Protein backbone atom coordinates (compact mmCIF):
# COMPACT_ATOMS: atom_id res chain seq x y z
CA UNK A 1 0.00 0.00 0.00
CA UNK A 2 2.94 2.32 0.70
CA UNK A 3 3.71 2.50 -3.05
CA UNK A 4 0.26 4.02 -3.71
CA UNK A 5 1.16 7.22 -1.86
CA UNK A 6 3.24 8.88 -4.55
CA UNK A 7 0.83 8.26 -7.47
CA UNK A 8 -2.01 9.55 -5.31
CA UNK A 9 -0.02 12.67 -4.49
CA UNK A 10 0.80 13.24 -8.16
CA UNK A 11 -2.90 12.98 -9.07
CA UNK A 12 -3.72 15.39 -6.25
CA UNK A 13 -1.05 17.82 -7.46
CA UNK A 14 -2.31 17.49 -11.04
CA UNK A 15 -5.84 18.33 -9.89
CA UNK A 16 -4.67 21.39 -7.95
CA UNK A 17 -2.52 22.57 -10.87
CA UNK A 18 -5.48 21.98 -13.18
CA UNK A 19 -7.75 24.02 -10.92
CA UNK A 20 -5.18 26.82 -10.78
CA UNK A 21 -4.83 26.93 -14.57
CA UNK A 22 -8.60 26.83 -15.17
CA UNK A 23 -9.13 29.58 -12.58
CA UNK A 24 -6.53 31.63 -14.47
CA UNK A 25 -8.27 31.05 -17.82
CA UNK A 26 -11.67 31.81 -16.35
CA UNK A 27 -10.27 35.06 -15.00
CA UNK A 28 -8.80 36.21 -18.31
CA UNK A 29 -11.78 35.04 -20.36
CA UNK A 30 -14.31 36.24 -17.76
CA UNK A 31 -16.02 32.90 -18.13
CA UNK A 32 -18.09 32.01 -15.06
CA UNK A 33 -18.74 28.47 -16.32
CA UNK A 34 -15.02 27.85 -16.45
CA UNK A 35 -14.70 29.10 -12.90
CA UNK A 36 -17.32 26.61 -11.80
CA UNK A 37 -15.33 23.91 -13.61
CA UNK A 38 -12.20 25.00 -11.72
CA UNK A 39 -14.07 24.73 -8.43
CA UNK A 40 -15.19 21.21 -9.40
CA UNK A 41 -11.54 20.30 -10.03
CA UNK A 42 -10.72 21.65 -6.57
CA UNK A 43 -13.30 19.20 -5.17
CA UNK A 44 -11.56 16.36 -7.02
CA UNK A 45 -8.21 17.50 -5.63
CA UNK A 46 -9.68 17.65 -2.14
CA UNK A 47 -11.09 14.11 -2.52
CA UNK A 48 -7.64 12.85 -3.58
CA UNK A 49 -6.05 14.79 -0.71
CA UNK A 50 -8.50 13.12 1.70
CA UNK A 51 -7.66 9.71 0.22
CA UNK A 52 -3.93 10.39 0.63
CA UNK A 53 -4.53 11.32 4.27
CA UNK A 54 -6.63 8.21 4.87
CA UNK A 55 -4.02 6.01 3.22
CA UNK A 56 -1.27 7.51 5.39
CA UNK A 57 -3.48 7.04 8.46
CA UNK A 58 -3.91 3.37 7.58
CA UNK A 59 -0.19 2.92 6.92
CA UNK A 60 1.05 4.49 10.13
CA UNK A 61 -1.94 3.28 12.18
CA UNK A 62 -2.43 6.69 13.72
CA UNK A 63 -3.13 10.30 12.94
CA UNK A 64 -0.93 11.60 10.11
CA UNK A 65 0.61 14.44 12.11
CA UNK A 66 4.02 13.04 13.03
CA UNK A 67 6.44 14.66 10.59
CA UNK A 68 6.79 17.44 8.04
CA UNK A 69 5.27 15.46 5.18
CA UNK A 70 2.21 14.47 7.19
CA UNK A 71 1.81 17.99 8.52
CA UNK A 72 2.16 19.40 4.99
CA UNK A 73 -0.48 17.02 3.65
CA UNK A 74 -2.87 18.01 6.46
CA UNK A 75 -1.98 21.67 5.93
CA UNK A 76 -2.94 21.53 2.23
CA UNK A 77 -6.13 19.71 3.21
CA UNK A 78 -6.95 22.47 5.73
CA UNK A 79 -6.28 25.28 3.22
CA UNK A 80 -8.46 23.70 0.54
CA UNK A 81 -11.22 22.79 3.03
CA UNK A 82 -11.22 26.36 4.35
CA UNK A 83 -11.41 27.62 0.77
CA UNK A 84 -14.32 25.31 -0.06
CA UNK A 85 -16.21 26.51 3.04
CA UNK A 86 -15.53 30.19 2.29
CA UNK A 87 -16.40 29.68 -1.37
CA UNK A 88 -19.68 28.02 -0.39
CA UNK A 89 -20.60 30.51 2.32
CA UNK A 90 -19.56 33.79 0.67
CA UNK A 91 -19.69 32.74 -3.01
CA UNK A 92 -16.06 33.71 -3.39
CA UNK A 93 -14.83 31.34 -6.09
CA UNK A 94 -13.00 34.26 -7.70
CA UNK A 95 -10.32 34.06 -5.00
CA UNK A 96 -9.54 30.47 -6.06
CA UNK A 97 -6.96 31.95 -8.42
CA UNK A 98 -5.08 33.32 -5.40
CA UNK A 99 -5.49 30.28 -3.13
CA UNK A 100 -4.41 27.60 -5.60
CA UNK A 101 -0.80 28.82 -6.08
CA UNK A 102 -0.22 28.42 -2.30
CA UNK A 103 -1.73 24.92 -2.44
CA UNK A 104 0.28 23.96 -5.54
CA UNK A 105 3.61 25.13 -4.07
CA UNK A 106 3.13 23.09 -0.89
CA UNK A 107 1.88 20.09 -2.91
CA UNK A 108 5.01 20.27 -5.12
CA UNK A 109 7.10 20.09 -1.97
CA UNK A 110 5.04 17.10 -0.78
CA UNK A 111 5.83 15.02 -3.88
CA UNK A 112 9.53 15.83 -3.52
CA UNK A 113 10.07 14.59 0.05
CA UNK A 114 10.84 11.13 1.33
CA UNK A 115 7.55 9.30 1.96
CA UNK A 116 9.08 6.32 3.74
CA UNK A 117 7.37 5.55 6.99
CA UNK A 118 9.82 6.04 9.84
CA UNK A 119 9.24 4.95 13.43
CA UNK A 120 7.85 7.71 15.59
CA UNK A 121 10.34 8.87 18.19
CA UNK A 122 9.35 8.36 21.85
CA UNK A 123 8.93 12.09 22.57
CA UNK A 124 6.23 12.27 19.87
CA UNK A 125 4.25 9.36 21.27
CA UNK A 126 1.90 11.55 23.23
CA UNK A 127 -1.77 12.52 23.17
CA UNK A 128 -0.63 16.14 23.15
CA UNK A 129 0.63 15.67 19.60
CA UNK A 130 -2.89 15.34 18.16
CA UNK A 131 -4.17 18.53 19.83
CA UNK A 132 -0.99 20.54 19.23
CA UNK A 133 -0.57 19.71 15.54
CA UNK A 134 -4.31 19.76 14.73
CA UNK A 135 -4.52 23.28 16.15
CA UNK A 136 -1.51 24.24 14.02
CA UNK A 137 -3.12 22.78 10.89
CA UNK A 138 -6.35 24.73 11.42
CA UNK A 139 -4.52 27.96 12.32
CA UNK A 140 -2.12 27.77 9.38
CA UNK A 141 -4.94 26.78 7.02
CA UNK A 142 -6.94 29.87 8.04
CA UNK A 143 -3.88 32.11 7.72
CA UNK A 144 -3.05 30.73 4.27
CA UNK A 145 -6.52 31.58 3.07
CA UNK A 146 -6.49 35.01 4.70
CA UNK A 147 -3.18 35.60 2.89
CA UNK A 148 -4.72 34.70 -0.48
CA UNK A 149 -7.73 36.93 0.19
CA UNK A 150 -5.46 39.77 1.31
CA UNK A 151 -3.34 39.48 -1.84
CA UNK A 152 -6.57 39.66 -3.86
CA UNK A 153 -7.51 42.73 -1.84
CA UNK A 154 -4.18 44.47 -2.46
CA UNK A 155 -4.29 43.78 -6.19
CA UNK A 156 -7.86 44.90 -6.54
CA UNK A 157 -7.26 47.98 -4.43
CA UNK A 158 -4.42 48.97 -6.74
CA UNK A 159 -6.79 48.78 -9.70
CA UNK A 160 -9.67 50.46 -7.92
CA UNK A 161 -9.51 53.59 -10.05
CA UNK A 162 -9.73 51.61 -13.30
CA UNK A 163 -13.31 50.38 -13.35
CA UNK A 164 -12.83 48.45 -16.54
CA UNK A 165 -10.07 46.25 -15.10
CA UNK A 166 -10.68 42.53 -14.81
CA UNK A 167 -9.78 42.52 -11.12
CA UNK A 168 -12.55 44.99 -10.44
CA UNK A 169 -15.10 43.02 -12.31
CA UNK A 170 -14.12 39.51 -11.29
CA UNK A 171 -13.22 39.94 -7.63
CA UNK A 172 -15.74 40.61 -4.87
CA UNK A 173 -16.04 44.06 -3.31
CA UNK A 174 -13.05 45.24 -1.28
CA UNK A 175 -15.21 45.42 1.82
CA UNK A 176 -16.11 41.73 1.45
CA UNK A 177 -12.48 40.69 0.89
CA UNK A 178 -11.39 42.68 3.93
CA UNK A 179 -14.14 41.16 6.09
CA UNK A 180 -13.36 37.59 4.96
CA UNK A 181 -9.61 38.02 5.57
CA UNK A 182 -10.38 39.37 9.04
CA UNK A 183 -12.76 36.51 9.85
CA UNK A 184 -10.10 33.99 8.88
CA UNK A 185 -7.49 35.65 11.10
CA UNK A 186 -10.07 35.78 13.88
CA UNK A 187 -10.51 31.99 13.56
CA UNK A 188 -6.80 31.27 13.12
CA UNK A 189 -5.40 33.23 16.06
CA UNK A 190 -7.23 31.36 18.86
CA UNK A 191 -6.09 28.08 17.28
CA UNK A 192 -2.54 29.39 17.12
CA UNK A 193 -2.85 30.26 20.82
CA UNK A 194 -4.05 26.71 21.55
CA UNK A 195 -1.15 25.35 19.49
CA UNK A 196 1.39 27.37 21.50
CA UNK A 197 -0.20 26.48 24.83
CA UNK A 198 -0.48 22.74 24.15
CA UNK A 199 3.02 22.70 22.71
CA UNK A 200 4.38 24.36 25.84
CA UNK A 201 2.56 21.98 28.19
CA UNK A 202 3.77 19.00 26.19
CA UNK A 203 7.34 20.33 26.15
CA UNK A 204 7.19 20.60 29.94
CA UNK A 205 6.37 16.88 30.17
CA UNK A 206 8.65 15.69 27.38
CA UNK A 207 11.69 17.96 27.67
CA UNK A 208 11.33 19.35 31.17
CA UNK A 209 10.84 22.94 30.09
CA UNK A 210 7.73 24.68 28.83
CA UNK A 211 9.70 27.14 26.75
CA UNK A 212 13.23 26.80 25.45
CA UNK A 213 13.42 29.50 22.75
CA UNK A 214 13.84 26.78 20.17
CA UNK A 215 13.72 28.42 16.66
CA UNK A 216 10.40 26.74 15.83
CA UNK A 217 8.84 27.91 19.10
CA UNK A 218 10.25 31.39 18.67
CA UNK A 219 8.94 31.73 15.12
CA UNK A 220 5.52 30.43 16.15
CA UNK A 221 5.54 33.17 18.79
CA UNK A 222 6.60 35.76 16.19
CA UNK A 223 3.66 34.63 14.03
CA UNK A 224 1.35 34.97 17.02
CA UNK A 225 2.66 38.48 17.71
CA UNK A 226 2.07 39.56 14.11
CA UNK A 227 -1.54 38.33 14.09
CA UNK A 228 -2.09 39.79 17.57
CA UNK A 229 -0.89 43.12 16.16
CA UNK A 230 -3.32 42.61 13.24
CA UNK A 231 -6.30 42.31 15.59
CA UNK A 232 -5.19 45.08 17.94
CA UNK A 233 -4.54 47.61 15.22
CA UNK A 234 -7.84 46.68 13.59
CA UNK A 235 -9.97 46.88 16.75
CA UNK A 236 -8.37 49.86 18.37
CA UNK A 237 -6.73 51.85 15.59
CA UNK A 238 -9.15 51.10 12.80
CA UNK A 239 -6.50 49.44 10.58
CA UNK A 240 -8.69 48.00 7.88
CA UNK A 241 -8.32 47.38 4.19
CA UNK A 242 -4.87 47.90 2.76
CA UNK A 243 -2.91 48.16 6.01
CA UNK A 244 -4.64 45.12 7.50
CA UNK A 245 -4.03 43.18 4.28
CA UNK A 246 -0.31 43.91 4.46
CA UNK A 247 -0.16 42.64 8.06
CA UNK A 248 -1.98 39.45 6.98
CA UNK A 249 0.58 38.96 4.19
CA UNK A 250 3.44 39.50 6.66
CA UNK A 251 1.81 37.03 9.06
CA UNK A 252 1.68 34.33 6.41
CA UNK A 253 5.32 34.96 5.48
CA UNK A 254 6.07 34.19 9.14
CA UNK A 255 3.92 31.03 8.93
CA UNK A 256 5.83 29.80 5.89
CA UNK A 257 9.17 30.62 7.46
CA UNK A 258 8.13 28.81 10.66
CA UNK A 259 7.34 25.70 8.64
CA UNK A 260 9.95 25.64 5.88
CA UNK A 261 12.56 28.25 6.75
CA UNK A 262 13.12 27.19 10.33
CA UNK A 263 13.11 23.48 9.44
CA UNK A 264 15.76 23.86 6.75
CA UNK A 265 17.79 26.83 7.96
CA UNK A 266 17.55 26.93 11.74
CA UNK A 267 17.65 23.40 13.12
CA UNK A 268 16.54 22.90 16.70
CA UNK A 269 14.42 20.61 18.83
CA UNK A 270 11.79 20.37 16.06
CA UNK A 271 14.30 19.23 13.42
CA UNK A 272 12.61 15.85 12.98
CA UNK A 273 9.70 17.64 11.31
CA UNK A 274 11.22 17.81 7.86
CA UNK A 275 12.50 14.68 6.15
CA UNK A 276 16.18 14.89 5.21
CA UNK A 277 16.46 18.39 6.68
The footprint of another protein (CB under 8 A) covers 119-123, 125-126, 175-176, 179, 182, 186-187, 189-191, 193-194, 197, 200-202, 204-208, 210-211, 213, 215, 218-219, 221-222, 225-226, 228-229, 232-233, 235-237, 262, 266
Q: Which is nearer to another protein, 9 or 129 (CB)?
A: 129
- Half-sphere exposure (CA, 13 Å, Cβ side) for 85? 12
3-class state of residue 211 by DSSP? coil
Min. distance of Cβ 189 from another protein in angstroms? 8
Min. distance of Cβ 201 from another protein in angstroms? 6
Distance, CA of 192 to CA of 194 (rounded, Å): 5
Q: Which is nearer to another protein, 101 or 261 (CB)?
A: 261
Min. distance of Cβ 130 from another protein in angstroms? 13
DSSP 116-179: ---PPPGGG-SHHHHHHHHHHHHHHHHHHHHHHHHHHHHHHHHTTT-TTSHHHHHSPPHHHHHH
Q: Which is nearer to another protein, 51 or 231 (CB)?
A: 231
C-alpha distances out from residue 41 to 74, 118, 188, Å: 19, 32, 26
Min. distance of Cβ 117 from another protein in angstroms? 10
Q: Which is nearer to another protein, 104 or 262 (CB)?
A: 262
Min. distance of Cβ 48 from another protein in angstroms? 28
Host H or E run for residue 56: helix 32-60
Q: Which is nearer to another protein, 105 or 228 (CB)?
A: 228
Amino acid sequence: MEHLQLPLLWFMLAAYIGAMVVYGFSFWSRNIRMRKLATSIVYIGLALNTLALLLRTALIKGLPLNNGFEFGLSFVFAVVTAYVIVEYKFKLDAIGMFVMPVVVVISCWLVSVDLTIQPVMPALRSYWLAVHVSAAVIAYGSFALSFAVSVAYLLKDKKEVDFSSRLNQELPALKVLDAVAYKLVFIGLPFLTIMLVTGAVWAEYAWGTFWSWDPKETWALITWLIYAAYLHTRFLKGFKGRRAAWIAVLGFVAVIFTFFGVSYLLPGMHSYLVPNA
